[in-house]
Homo-oligomer: A and B are copies of this chain.
Amino acid sequence: MIIVEKYGGTSVGDVDRIKNVARRVKKSYDEGHKMVVIVSARSGVTNELIARAKAITPHPDEREMDTLMTCGEQETIALTALALQSMGVPAISRTGPRAGFKTDGNHMRARIQDITGGDIPELLEEGKVVVVAGFQGLSPDGEVTTMGRGGSDLSAIALAKGVNADLCRINTDVDGVYTADPRIVPDARKLNEIHYEEMLELASAGSKVMQSRAVEFASKYNVPFEVRSSFNENPGTIVKEEVASMEDILVNGVAVDKNQTRIGVSHLPDRPGAAAKVFNALAEAGVLVDMIVQNVGREGSANITFTVPKDDTYKAESALTEALKDFDGATAQTIGDIAKVSVVGLGMRSHSGVAAKLFDALAKASINIEMITTSEIKISVAISLEQADEAVRVAHAAFDLG
């Protein structure tokens, strides 16, 4: 069968790990499978490249950043192909653009528009193992683009769809999806399977296992995939549409995102379109706004508080300065970094009382809630960074996840 599998930056972190990846791929290849391997940049490389760019200019041009950052995976595909060849496996590398990843022109956060797979189907027919650079694509203008951090997961799932793979494996540095981060909660449990939507909420809630866009894509095109470890042969967690007896479980996991900044906008006129103008400006600047709280103040003006990814703070501030010019007296202020703790479970759809139970548990631990957002299967609270780990442990215990 056709297997598309992805190895992240930690899994290809040095020459020995690359050889380890090659051995694992060879095993599947020797079993008769047609293998496509998506790799990331070696861990640390992307950060080194960014650090070099920032040593030159604090806010580097995003087009040039994409040209810079794609070096990372380009190195890994070549080294991985060489490692496979040295084991007698006929491997060939492909950059993202050549593997047919067509994206929009939004540099550093490009969205996949089409994935043709390039000449990968022919190469697989010829018996080749194809090693593909994750994270990269080609814009309509012929510019190389990157899909943002964690884009390799998206590359893998999109390519699994693009080449009609029978199986997609996301190999990573964890054994699978856990009820919480085991480094924070010692008695966290590995889940055997999980629904796309739960995985999605966990990802958007800051669980570092996978990027949410990758899971969205998998859900939209119904691409089941397995999250498992690069370093052992243990079964991982299957993420898919049909999950057995999940309705009975109220909460399936607790996630935390420590990478958000809270921004407040004060004295915005309380009239239709004012808030829209603010969030349109942020959207146009490519800033992903997460939690939003609005309340009407005195004298007909509104205050809005929202969170953005920490890295987008500067972009958000610039966009706001521009957008608020039209509103006399309206001001934006970066309040500071916060943590978002979320409980996630399909079971919430049919059960009430989850929010109450969570708030009660946090209150008993003297943890103050700054903001609250909810979805059908998730409740998130913004709290201070210092209390984040304690909040995760408290929630994990409150829902008997251990």
4 pairs of A and B residues whose beta carbons are closest in the complex? A68-B78, A57-B86, A71-B71, A67-B78
8 A Cβ contacts from A65-109 to B:
65, 67-68, 70-72, 74-75, 77-79, 81-83, 85-86, 92-93, 95, 98
Q: List 28 A-B contacts (CB under 8 A).
A: A15-B52, A15-B55, A15-B56, A49-B75, A52-B75, A53-B78, A53-B79, A53-B82, A56-B79, A56-B82, A56-B83, A56-B86, A57-B82, A57-B85, A61-B85, A64-B82, A64-B85, A64-B92, A64-B93, A65-B82, A67-B77, A67-B93, A68-B82, A71-B71, A71-B72, A71-B74, A71-B75, A98-B142
* Interface residue A140 (Cβ < 8 Å from any Cβ of B): no
Using CB atoms, name the residue of chain B closest to A83. B56
* Interface residue A393 (Cβ < 8 Å from any Cβ of B): no
Using CB atoms, name the residue of chain B closest to A81. B64
Tell me, in angstroms, the Cα distance from A250 to B78 when the chains sit together.
50
* Interface residue A169 (Cβ < 8 Å from any Cβ of B): no
With contacts A75-B49, A95-B67 taken as known, whether A56 is within 8 angstroms of B19 at the C-beta atoms is yes
Residues of the B chain whose Cβ atoms lie less than 8 Å from the Cβ of A92: 63-64
Using CB atoms, name the residue of chain B closest to A77. B67
Q: Is A68 a contact partner of B74 (Cβ separation < 8 A)?
A: yes
A386 → chain B closest CB, angstroms = 35
* Interface residue A60 (Cβ < 8 Å from any Cβ of B): yes
* Interface residue A130 (Cβ < 8 Å from any Cβ of B): no
Using CB atoms, name the residue of chain B closest to A98. B142
Interface flags for A246-260 (1: CB within 8 Å of B; 0: not) read 000000000000000
Using CB atoms, name the residue of chain B closest to A70. B74
* Interface residue A200 (Cβ < 8 Å from any Cβ of B): no
Residues of the B chain whose Cβ atoms lie less than 8 Å from the Cβ of A72: 71
* Interface residue A110 (Cβ < 8 Å from any Cβ of B): no
Residues of the B chain whose Cβ atoms lie less than 8 Å from the Cβ of A71: 71-72, 74-75
Using CB atoms, name the residue of chain B closest to A58. B86
8 A Cβ contacts from A148-168 to B:
none
* Interface residue A18 (Cβ < 8 Å from any Cβ of B): yes
Interface flags for A182-207 (1: CB within 8 Å of B; 0: not) read 00000000000000000000000000
